[in-house]
Amino acid sequence: MTTQISAPIRKMNGLGNEIVVLDLRGLKPTPHLTSEIIHQIAADPRTHFDQLMVLHAPEVQETLARLRIYNRDGSTAGACGNGMRCVVLSAFMDTGQKDQLYQTSAGLLSARFEAPNSIAVNMGEPKFDWQDIPLRDPFEDTTRIELQAGPIDNPILHSPSVCNIGNPHAVFWVDNVDDYDLGRIGPLMEHHPLFPEQANISIAQITSQTSARVRTWERGVGLTRACGSAACAVAVSGARIGKLARQSTITVPGGDLHIEWNDRNRIVMTGPAELEASGRIVFHPAECDDAKSGSFQVSFEALDE
């Protein structure tokens, strides 16, 4: 009979982006995170999250962990820049290791801890081909595609830049990001048929050659104070259309991120992370009659600062 097991859990944030880091490395048996468990973690005020960063035992030499990322609705993500900075801070707190490497569904991801307010994450190479984003229809030029929100003769938003930064992104260029009801427009665009895997929807305002403001409706989450991969999407898309330099400061509602699109075609994002609370999550064997073997329910212990 399976007994209860527990694992360390941390509630963190990256510029207000709510992050939970759950470490399942070395846990046997490793509990299967069902949608019910994920929703239970998200629903608890102590562990409410935009992204859940789950660490599994590493499968690739020199990596610290294999990482799986869940959105609040239970869907998975290929990348989460703010979440990665939280993972890096968490690992540094445990080991003191500054240079770190992780395995993700989007590939190997390296990072470096300098200080809690200066954590650099290599977000990898941006993808611009319509099939890699992916889009339903072919577009030769993805710097601006034919897509609009609102009436055909007077669209509210139109002609976004699209790319993939571990996740699909669409960036609409506007004069003022505060002039738009993104809470209404975002879900319509996220689920537009053009995006077979849905998309993160951002509105971006160029403020100088090296700076921009952005608000994001995040796929599987909703309105967010910060989306690191969206900040990267704005930076590289702005550079592609000649409006931003390859190093820029992207301001999200939660604060500033520094983005560099370097000459090796890698995106390096630098910003802060913060610990809010630490504790343990306890997995209890499910006792209901219809529970499957290996099923668990969860509770929390000592989740305090």
Provide the annotated active-site residues. Answer: 80, 227
CA angle 88, 72, 105 (to 5 degrees): 55
* 51, burial (CB in 10 Å: exposed 0-12, middle 13-18, buried 19+): buried
Q: Which residues lie below 8 Å from residue 152, measured CB to CB, with a gap of 6+?
A: none
Total residues belonging to the chain: 305
Distances from the Cα of 180 to the Cαs of 202, 209, 236, 273, in angstroms?
Answer: 11, 23, 23, 28
- DSSP assignment letter at 159: -
**What CA–CA distance (Å, rounded) separates 279 from 76?**
24
Instruction: Give helix 228-240 / helix 81-95 axis angle, nearest 10°.
Output: 130
